[in-house]
């Protein structure tokens, strides 16, 4: 039986000392009413951005993390100093630490830009005893903290800037009164079709909160975003917590 109550998930994060740690978070599944609230608040425009990367390499050479990893390896004495059997583990450990630092900085960039946002958590199902993995993303709305709609062109420019800075293959962009699209860091649309078809709560696939692939072109995406087992932070437990989160720019679902 599927549980819809609070859940505790583990995220890999960077603490204030710059140390790589695993932190527990109490979250709630995104409900249909919360999804409707998110989409309603995003009517004047929104983006969805993550700092995480699942691989070092990328189909887009401009977005590859390989040069940064090579620089790290050179500081360790070069590839010749690492056993070939240990290289994969070295890559994965570097990527986890890189993702934790990137997420922390991305959230700060969003706050510094003055937009309202909602943290969301998704990932993929573990198998054969492997724990489910989660990664943070941020829904950034076209509202400043004053709660007034902003200039969407400025938000879209920020989306492309963050896409480039965090080496993302694409960023989700929902322009006002238009179907969503996926744009690369140069502003090129990378999805081959576009619609407002939002699927909700299908829990049978290994991967979720990902984008539906176009069968005719597996390297591109359609804009049918799938909100499957997407989690959001619990609502504030106290007045002080509520005020702190609102002050930071969070839009609480």
The mean pLDDT of 189-203, rounded to a whole number, is: 56
In percent, the amount of the chain with pLDDT more than 90 equals 40
What does the pLDDT look like over 130-141, one tens digit per residue? 445 678 999 999
Q: How confident is the model at residue 4 (pLDDT cuts 50, 70, 90)?
A: low
First to last CA, the chain: 25
The pairing of strands 199-200 and 217-227 is parallel
Residue 104: predicted pLDDT: 92
**Higher local confidence (pLDDT), 160 or 201:** 160
**Higher local confidence (pLDDT), 233 or 2:** 233
In sequence order, which ranges of 114-144 are alpha helices (DSSP H)? Answer: none
Residue 132: predicted pLDDT: 55
Report whether pLDDT(84) > 90. no
In whole numbers, what is the pLDDT of the chain averaged over residues? 80
Q: Where are the domains of the chain?
A: 7-51+103-247
Max avg pLDDT among 35-44, 160-169, 174-183: 160-169
Q: How confident is the model at residue 99 (pLDDT cuts 50, 70, 90)?
A: very high
Residue 19: predicted pLDDT: 79
Residue 79: predicted pLDDT: 85
Residue 124: predicted pLDDT: 52
Please give the Cα distance from 187 to 161 (Å, whole number). Answer: 10
Residue 156: predicted pLDDT: 97
Report whether pLDDT(213) > 50. no
Please give the Cα distance from 119 to 137 (Å, whole number). Answer: 6
CA distances from 134 to 11, 96, 103, 114, 215 (A): 6, 12, 12, 26, 26
Query: How many other CB atoms sit within 10 Å of the CB of residue 120?
Result: 23
Query: How many other CB atoms sit within 10 Å of the CB of residue 121?
Result: 20
Report whether pLDDT(128) > 90. no
Q: Is 144 helix (H, G, I), strand (E, B) or coil?
A: strand
The mean pLDDT of 41-46, rounded to a whole number, is: 91
């Amino acid at each position: 039986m599927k549980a819809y109550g609070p859940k505790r998930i583990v995220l890999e994060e960077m603490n204030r000392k710059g140390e790589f740690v695993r932190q527990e978070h109490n979250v709630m599944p995104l409900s249909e009413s919360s999804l409707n609230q998110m989409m309603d608040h995003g009517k004047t425009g929104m983006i969805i951005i993550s700092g995480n990367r699942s691989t070092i390499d990328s189909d887009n050479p401009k977005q590859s993390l390989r040069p940064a990893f090579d620089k790290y390896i050179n500081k360790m004495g070069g590839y010749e100093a690492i056993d070939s059997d240990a290289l994969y583990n070295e890559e994965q450990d570097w990527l986890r630490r890189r993702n934790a630092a990137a997420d922390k900085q991305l959230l700060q960039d969003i706050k510094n830009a003055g937009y309202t946002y909602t943290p969301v958590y998704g990932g993929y199902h573990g198998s054969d005893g492997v724990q489910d993995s989660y990664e943070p993303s941020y829904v950034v709305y076209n509202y400043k903290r004053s709660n007034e709609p902003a200039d969407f062109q400025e938000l879209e420019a920020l989306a492309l800037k963050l896409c480039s800075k965090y080496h993302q293959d694409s960023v989700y962009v929902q322009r006002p009164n238009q179907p969503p699209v996926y744009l690369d860091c140069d502003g090129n649309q990378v999805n081959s079709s576009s619609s407002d078809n939002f699927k909700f709560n299908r829990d049978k696939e290994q991967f979720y909160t990902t984008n539906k692939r176009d069968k005719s072109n597996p390297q591109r995406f359609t804009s049918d975003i799938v909100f499957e087992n997407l989690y959001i932070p619990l609502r504030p437990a106290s007045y002080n917590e509520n005020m702190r989160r609102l002050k930071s720019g969070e839009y609480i679902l």
